[in-house]
Amino acid sequence: MVNDATVLHHAATVGSCKVTEFLLSKGVPVDIHYGYGTPLHLAATNEQDKIVKILLEHHADANTSVTSLGSALMGALLCRSLKCMKLLIKGGADVNRMTSLLMTPLVFTSGRKDYTNFMQFLLKAGADPNIPDGFGRLPIEHAGRRDCMEQVEMLFPLTSPIPSIPNWSIDGIISYEKFESAKPLDQRHLERAKAIFKSQADYAFRLKDYKFASKSYDLAIDAAPTATLYANRSLCKLMLDDGEGALSDALSCRMMRPNWAKACYRQAVAHMLLKEYKQACDALLDAQKLDPGNIEVERELRKARELMKAPDEADK
């Protein structure tokens, strides 16, 4: 394993087919790993299906796992790239492989209505609905807890009856799982899942993969939302020039933790990106009250005030 990303890693990330093919023709190892993953991982998590195809044609290992990130197949799933998923499975990716996220790809899709079409694809590709996650729960249980009727209907004829569910029917499963989800034990499981996804997101952020980090924070928030998670995802969206998304997360952060200066600051920076300087000043004044003497807040406040006086300068 090398310490830094190679030219091949960069080529895979940005989708440069010519550079990728040239480097492989010169003998650069196709599975070279630099901590964050192989070129195949990077191509899959950046939806570069043409690069995925080239790497697999050069015998890239489709089942290599990355600590905190899982497999290339899981990365492609997280980024909703059906093209990459099809190529990876055709290239030998194990559709039932348990990743470091303590789940198979099928478990990941369960309970997420916007991933129902991916669940359907995985089942057709041979995904086993009787493999539980790291907490012992089957995909149908996750789908039932989130009231995902279509997913439960899809999984029901393929899943072996669970003895603890007295009424083994579609309605019976949903009713039972919704009741179970209210128990304290379930919250502990959610907190553990949140910690796993946050660790994955933090790692991706440190490597400046803001898109993947943002998607990982999505999962952490989905498991157990906190003000810190919203603040972190807001920062990711700022780095991706998504002002509206950053502002939405910053406002959610302030709702959960109204007396936190960082929440106010995140809101202000989002307003700055959107060139809403008056609102930025208001948010920074709130941050100033909560954290007097904060140099970063003071600097941004001066900048916002200057831009309010000469807004045309901001466009130059």
pLDDT of residue 122: 98
- CA angle (138, 195, 266) in 5-degree steps: 130
Q: Give the pair of three-digit tokens for residue 31.
A: 């599975």
Give the confidence band of 184 by pLDDT, cuts at 50, 70, 90. Answer: low
pLDDT of residue 310: 72
In this prediction, what percent of the chain has a pLDDT beyond 70?
A: 93
Tell me the pTM.
Answer: 0.74
- Given a contact cutoff of 8 angstroms between Cβ atoms, the answer to whether 297 and 269 are in contact is no
End-to-end CA distance of the chain: 45
Query: Mean pLDDT across the stretch 250-260?
Result: 94
Helix 243-256 / helix 261-273 crossing angle, nearest 10 deg: 160
CB count, 10 Å around CB of 33?
Answer: 17
Residue 273: helix, strand or coil by DSSP?
helix
**Residue 96 to residue 112: CA distance in whole angstroms:** 18
- Given a contact cutoff of 8 angstroms between Cβ atoms, the answer to whether 196 and 169 are in contact is no
Give the confidence band of 5 by pLDDT, cuts at 50, 70, 90. Answer: confident
pLDDT of residue 65: 81
pLDDT 10s digits, 82-115: 999 999 999 999 999 987 667 899 999 999 999 9
Per the listing, tokens 């039972």 go with: 176
pLDDT 10s digits, 140-164: 999 998 899 999 999 999 999 999 9
Close Cβ partners of 182 (under 8 Å, ≥ 6 residues apart): none
Structural domains in the chain?
Answer: 1-100 (1.25.40.20), 102-182 (1.25.40.20), 186-315 (1.25.40.10)
pLDDT 10s digits, 121-145: 999 999 999 999 877 889 999 999 8
Give the confidence band of 1 by pLDDT, cuts at 50, 70, 90. Answer: very low
Q: Give the pair of three-digit tokens for residue 36.
A: 């964050």
pLDDT 10s digits, 185-198: 566 677 777 888 89
Q: Give the pair of three-digit tokens for residue 156.
A: 């029901």
Between 314 and 16, residue with greater pLDDT: 16
- Given a contact cutoff of 8 angstroms between Cβ atoms, the answer to whether 69 and 200 are in contact is yes
Burial of 160 (0-12, 13-18, 19+ CB in 10 A): exposed
Close Cβ partners of 195 (under 8 Å, ≥ 6 residues apart): none
